[in-house]
């Protein structure tokens, strides 16, 4: 299986990729406000690459439920100078986390290689055009609706089955309607996006049904609130549970782990992979 994002190519199977998070937002749930200045964001991105990140994910609008919407001009002002300064200094692809077609296009023009679309279900033709024109990578993340309008409480019959069908439908539409090649696509079940604690646990337990599909699976669990709900841990104390999820995810065939804690995740994932590469009876 190959993943192509502009000049970058990744051939799977290979060690899982760790995607480091760079938020240039005042209000993200875990690191809001820490990297708002261009210099601080660039330094953080470089530090994450030095720790072993093989993709960076840059976001200028918080996806936290209830977060204030950000104008296109403000989002551009936050992310474009960071991309322009960071991309010439790194050899790994930069992903732009945005729902806005104009931001996606401007980010690709500035040197981003992947569009991380947490609202892929809405099928935005202008965003798809930008991805297709630049031959960028495209993260298709599942969410029932945009953060502000997510149904409360979320309703699913069979959360794993429904999200599997969503991926299959997107795959066809992207190829036939949007001109986006399968090689450009990554799937992501969208842990925490319009899902209850029980849905999130069922998705994590059912990861194998997604990793059997012909596209790489990305998982974001880092410090998320479902961990707090299950274990009562404050956001700054959720690293152990995030690592437990990441290692089980890699054992289930997940190819990309999105995280705030790159060094720790790289170490945990490499250890899991070393064990899994031996003849084992772990899951018999």
Residues with active-site annotation: 224, 258
Tell me: does residue 44 bind ligand 9MG (CB under 6 A): no
Q: What Å distances lie between residue 231 and 26, 89, 196, 204, 223, CA to CA? A: 27, 39, 14, 16, 12
Query: Six-digit token pair at 273?
Result: 């992979």
Tell me: does residue 45 bind ligand 9MG (CB under 6 A): no
Tell me: does residue 5 bind ligand 9MG (CB under 6 A): no
Burial of residue 22, with CB atoms counted within 10 A of its CB: 0-12 exposed, 13-18 middle, 19 or more buried: buried
Tell me: does residue 53 bind ligand 9MG (CB under 6 A): no
Closer CB to ligand 9MG, residue 111 or residue 147?
147
Closer CB to ligand 9MG, residue 33 or residue 275?
33
The least distance separating ligand 9MG from the CB of residue 118, rounded to whole angstroms, comes to 5
The least distance separating ligand 9MG from the CB of residue 33, rounded to whole angstroms, comes to 17
Closer CB to ligand 9MG, residue 55 or residue 130?
55
Q: What Å distances lie between residue 241 and 19, 171, 175, 244, CA to CA? A: 18, 32, 37, 5
Among 258, 262, 266, 269, binds ligand 9MG (CB under 6 A): 258
Among 20, 45, 59, 60, binds ligand 9MG (CB under 6 A): 59
Among 25, 113, 116, 144, binds ligand 9MG (CB under 6 A): 116
Among 54, 61, 124, 188, binds ligand 9MG (CB under 6 A): 188
DSSP-assigned states of every residue in 176-236: III---GGGEEEE--TTSS--HHHHHHHHHTHHHHHTSSS-BEEE-TT-HHHHHHH---GG
């Amino acid at each position: 299986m190959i993943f192509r994002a502009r000049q970058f190519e990744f051939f799977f199977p290979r060690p899982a990729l760790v995607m480091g998070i760079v938020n240039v937002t005042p209000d993200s749930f875990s690191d809001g406000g820490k990297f708002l200045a261009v210099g601080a964001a660039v330094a953080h991105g470089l530090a994450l690459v030095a720790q072993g990140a093989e993709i960076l994910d840059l976001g200028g609008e918080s996806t936290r439920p209830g977060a204030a919407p950000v104008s296109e001009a403000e989002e551009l002002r936050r992310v474009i100078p960071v991309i322009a300064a960071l991309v010439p200094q790194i050899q790994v692809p930069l992903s732009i986390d945005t729902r806005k077609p104009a931001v996606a296009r401007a980010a690709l023009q500035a040197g981003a290689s992947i569009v991380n679309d947490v609202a892929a279900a809405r099928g935005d033709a202008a965003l798809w055009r930008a991805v297709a024109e630049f031959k960028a990578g495209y993260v298709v993340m599942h969410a029932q609706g945009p953060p502000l309008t997510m149904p409360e409480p979320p309703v699913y019959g069979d959360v794993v089955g429904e999200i599997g069908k969503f991926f299959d439908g997107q795959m066809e539409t992207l190829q036939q309607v949007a001109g986006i090649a399968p090689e450009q696509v990554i799937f992501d079940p969208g842990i925490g996006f319009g899902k209850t604690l029980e849905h999130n646990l069922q998705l994590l337990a059912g990861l194998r049904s997604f990793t059997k599909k012909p596209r790489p699976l990305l998982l974001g669990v880092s410090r998320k609130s479902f961990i707090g709900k299950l274990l009562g841990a404050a956001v700054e104390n959720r690293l152990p549970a995030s690592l437990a999820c990441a290692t089980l995810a890699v054992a289930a065939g997940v190819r990309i782990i999105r995280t705030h804690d790159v060094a720790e995740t790289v170490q945990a994932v490499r250890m899991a992979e070393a064990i899994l590469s031996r003849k084992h009876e772990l899951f018999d």
